[in-house]
């Protein structure tokens, strides 16, 4: 999963980054609220971790901005020294999903992150998954369309699975590249576009088949289910 962390303490950010990446996630760090908000205008994430005390704003203000300006309801975890009941009430009331008091304990952080991600993105990769005419077979990393196997390369399968599992979400280019190519996604955007184009062709992604993938200028792609168009 892709995480964005916000804290004015570089050491705390490094701790959070190391802990979450040890869990297999990718963590992008930010030192100011303005920096995170700039990032969120062009990038997408699966989870935000936010501190309360910031040099240019407050954590609750950042959370309120996210809820007003980010279309997808990304889960948010407060990690802060503030621990009074009124602080917890204000933090959760601003739109956060969970609240954790510093000092950061790695085991607790891992458990809270895992719980938030589990609730927001149910793990359905353990067995066969069906989406309309498409059937995903994780054991063989293959896809069937109307019962007929579609020949895909590994990265094409990973990209297709991620798109189907995140139906309706706007996903930034870097988000998609990190999922498919790994943490160090030094991949040309053209390569992503080529993979998307191949999936459109190989899986016949068009309104008549119930699914489309649309480019969103300056951000990335959105994969959506649409009402299949049948000829009368």
**pLDDT in the model for residue 15:** 97
Domains of the chain with CATH codes: 2-120 (3.40.50.2300), 129-225 (1.10.10.10)
Coil, strand or helix: which one is 14? helix
Burial class (CB in 10 A: 0-12, 13-18, 19+), 201: exposed
Q: What is the pLDDT of residue 231?
A: 46
- Return d(Cα 64, Cα 136) in angstroms, integer: 38
Sheet holding 134-137, edge to edge: 129-131, 134-137, 142-145, 148-150
Residue 53 per-residue DSSP state: B
H helices of 47-165, where? 59-69, 85-93, 106-120, 154-165
Beta-ladder partners of 4: 28, 48
- Cβ atoms of 62 and 54 closer than 8 Å: yes
The pLDDT profile of the chain, 232 residues, written as one tens digit per residue, is: 999 999 999 999 999 999 999 999 999 999 999 999 999 999 999 999 999 999 999 999 999 999 999 978 899 999 999 989 999 999 999 999 999 999 999 999 999 999 999 999 876 656 899 999 999 998 899 999 999 999 999 999 999 999 999 999 999 999 999 988 876 556 676 889 999 999 999 999 999 999 999 999 989 999 999 976 554 4
Beta strands in the chain (DSSP E): 2-6, 26-30, 47-50, 76-80, 98-101, 129-131, 134-137, 142-145, 148-150, 170-172, 211-216, 220-225
- Of all helices (H) and strands (E), which one includes residue 15? helix 10-22
Q: Which two tokens stand for residue 97?
A: 């999903």
């Amino acid at each position: 999963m892709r995480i964005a962390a916000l804290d004015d303490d570089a050491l705390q950010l490094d701790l959070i980054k190391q802990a979450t990446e040890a869990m297999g996630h990718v963590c992008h760090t930010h030192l100011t609220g303005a920096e995170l908000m700039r990032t969120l205008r062009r990038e997408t994430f699966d989870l935000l971790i936010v501190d309360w005390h910031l040099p240019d704003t407050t954590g609750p203000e950042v959370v309120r901005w996210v809820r007003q300006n980010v279309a997808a309801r990304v889960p948010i975890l407060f990690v802060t020294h503030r621990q009074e009941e009124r602080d917890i009430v204000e933090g959760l009331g601003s739109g956060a999903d969970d609240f954790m008091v510093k000092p950061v304990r790695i085991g607790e952080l891992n458990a809270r992150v895992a719980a938030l991600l589990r609730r927001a993105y149910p793990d359905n990769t353990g067995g066969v998954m069906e989406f309309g005419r498409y059937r995903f077979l994780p054991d063989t990393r293959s896809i069937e369309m109307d019962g007929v196997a579609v020949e895909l390369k590994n990265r094409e399968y990973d990209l297709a699975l991620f798109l189907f599992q995140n139906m309706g979400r706007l996903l930034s280019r870097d988000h998609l590249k990190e999922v498919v190519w790994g943490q160090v996604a030094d991949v040309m955007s053209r390569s992503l576009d080529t993979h998307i184009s191949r999936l459109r062709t190989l899986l016949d992604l068009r309104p008549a088949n119930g699914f489309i993938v649309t480019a969103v200028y300056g951000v990335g792609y959105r994969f959506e289910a649409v009402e299949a168009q049948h000829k009368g």
